Structure 1
């Protein structure tokens, strides 16, 4: 397998990963700005710090399930779900800076996206095991199903 073919199979995942890194930098800069500002209330600093910490706690899980789903099954729906997750995580972060209740929809939607990605991982691994040990390959069927199901993530 040549390098060009490998990159062709993961470039969407790499783009989403790079975007997530830039988003983490934005969150860190926002936290730094709040901490160094003279007129900031202690509650604002605590909220931004808590939002940043919550986003960082779920970040390794997000990266792991997105890459596993993309490599084991199909990169397009995994990257689409990853992009949605980044948007929802940004909504959560901004909502947390206001009132804590404003962040709840972002949290719940993000959890649903992570579950979808985890299910994609599980199905991809199970399909590999079925193919390896029983010779049954359901990859095309599963890819079609996950591509259709990823559009359902847009429903609130």
Structure 2
């Protein structure tokens, strides 16, 4: 096994704006989405006359508020796997999965705000997107370890075999 200093070297494939711009776009869109959720909760607060910091009141407000809170709770996980999969695997599948995640989170928010039973399917789909990004992150990180220890680029071999440009 190589010494620790080997892992601290500057990578041969440098990260630049071009290799992560799609992930950046998805990140920006996710910020806009969270702002939209906050705006909708604010609208519900005014509609049902529920002043902060109160979170009790009409059931419709509680569903809307809970949907926003759930999206906020999952946001750090989303950011982690989005960026790790974009950096260590490839930005295109990471970004496509990120867009799919945002789409299902929008469905989750809307469906939960209307009726709590409607939240299950979009929640599961968004969780599947997170799992896929986590898998890509793990594959990319595993590939780096294999490349450093065995001097073999597993992902490059795989993409050369099926003719996918990295």
Task: Specify the TM-score bucket, using the shorter chain as the normaliser.
Answer: 0.7 to 0.9
| Runs of 5+ consecutive residues of structure 2 not aligned to the other structure | 1-10, 51-56
Greater helix content: 1
Alignment of 1:12-91 (within 5 A): 12-38=22-48, 42-91=58-107
Output the CA distance in 1 between the equivalents of 2:141 and 2:74.
22
- The number of aligned residues is 144
Structure 2 length normalisation: TM-score?
0.80
Deviant stretches of 4+, over 3 Å? 38-41, 141-145
Residues 3-39 of structure 1: per-residue CA shift (max 9 Å, x gap): xx70000000000000000000000000000001157
Structure 1 residues 129 and 82: CA distance shift in structure 2, 3 A: same
The structure number with the bigger radius of gyration is 2
Q: Is the 8 A contact 1:73 1:143 kept in 2?
A: no
Output the CA distance in 1 between the equivalents of 2:159 and 2:78.
20
1:10 equivalent to 2:26? Answer no
Output the CA distance in 1 between the equivalents of 2:155 and 2:131.
20
Q: Alignment RMSD, CA only?
A: 2.3
Structure 1 residues 142 and 51: CA distance shift in structure 2, 3 A: farther
Output the CA distance in 2 between the equivalents of 1:11 and 1:45.
37
